[in-house]
Amino acid sequence: MPALKGAELPRPPAFQRVLNSVPVAVAIYIAVIYLIVWSAYAGAQNMGYNWQWSRVPQYLYSFTDDGFQLGEIFIGLGATIQLSVLSFALATLIGLGVALLRLSGLVVGKAVAIGFLELIRNIPLLVLLYLFYYVLGPIFGFDRYWASVLTLAVFHSALISEILRAGINAVPKGQWEAASSIGMTTAQTYRYIVLPQSIRFMLPPMTGEVVHLIKSSAIVSVIAVAELTTIGRNIISDTFMSFEIWFTVAVVYMVVTLILSVGVSYLERRYAVDQ
């Protein structure tokens, strides 16, 4: 460090320095986590819960004569991911449609979009699921799986359309004008100029939305669609290991959504380079 000529700045108060230091923060963190885990464990002991962690791995994976096989929990996870991907793709399509309607400047388009948003936003997800499964399902003839996909897609499309709209609006007006000035149509401007640029504004909130969707997909277990939460419930009704299985299921959800968040923040950094 070079010799500095200026006077040193006053330091923050001692109390603040100690509280902000890394060892103190780690200590507080560990203490809180310990308290939570210990009270849960102690509570379970008091009610005489019989912990059987050794029986959990067989639901994660197994070695049979056929070799390594994924257990029921991972099969359930696969179903959850499939359900989520399908719903998310559909939700993005619907969301884009609603966002474009809202941005179209047509009075009718705007009214339809706002009507849709308010309708969906003000119905609880569970009620929406019952509507799709018990009411719309029989009317239009789709099964419980498609009822689940449609429920998740419609519910999340409302939120996604707002994300898309904000992303599209974040592209400066000058970009529209430049595209117009070289004779592009509105559709071409969206496709080649505006949407590619709005992606970086949309990526962070969209990740949040995917995580949200994966978590809310658990709700379809109430109509017994086979996915992670349903399978967790089934295992428990066979084994009565509710503590171990719910902990495991929670951790599996967490790992998946964390991996997703980390992956996308990597993508975001890559996207930022070109801008």
- Cβ proximity to other proteins: between 62 and 169 the closer is 169
According to the binding rule CB under 8 A, does residue 272 interact with other proteins? no
According to the binding rule CB under 8 A, does residue 274 interact with other proteins? yes
Using CA atoms, how far residue 34 sits from 50, 51, 197, 243, in Å, is 21, 19, 46, 18
Candidate segments 44-52, 70-78, 144-152, 188-196, binder of other proteins by CB under 8 A: 188-196
According to the binding rule CB under 8 A, does residue 169 interact with other proteins? no
Of these, 188, 254, 258, 265, which contacts other proteins (CB under 8 A)? 188
Distance between CA atoms of 255 and 219, rounded to whole angstroms?
A: 19
Residue type, 184: M
Candidate segments 23-31, 65-73, 147-155, 175-183, binder of other proteins by CB under 8 A: 175-183
Give the number of residues in contact with other proteins, rule: CB under 8 A.
19
Of these, 20, 52, 69, 180, which contacts other proteins (CB under 8 A)? 180
- Cβ proximity to other proteins: between 139 and 273 the closer is 273
According to the binding rule CB under 8 A, does residue 170 interact with other proteins? no
Distance between CA atoms of 112 and 93, rounded to whole angstroms?
A: 16
Residue type, 7: A
CA atoms within 13 A on the CB side of 174: 1
Backbone angles phi, psi at 61, to 5 degrees: -155, 165
Distance between CA atoms of 168 and 70, rounded to whole angstroms?
A: 42
Nearest to 138 by CA among 78, 223, 54, 216: 223
According to the binding rule CB under 8 A, does residue 196 interact with other proteins? yes
Of these, 125, 131, 184, 222, which contacts other proteins (CB under 8 A)? 184
- Cβ proximity to other proteins: between 48 and 174 the closer is 174
According to the binding rule CB under 8 A, does residue 105 interact with other proteins? no
How many whole angstroms from its chain centre is CA 110?
Answer: 28
CA atoms within 13 A on the CB side of 160: 27
Structure tokens at 185: 């149509």
Q: Scanning residues 224 to 253, which ones bind other proteins (CB under 8 A)? A: none
List contacts with other proteins (CB under 8 A): 172, 174-175, 177-185, 188, 192-193, 196-197, 274-275
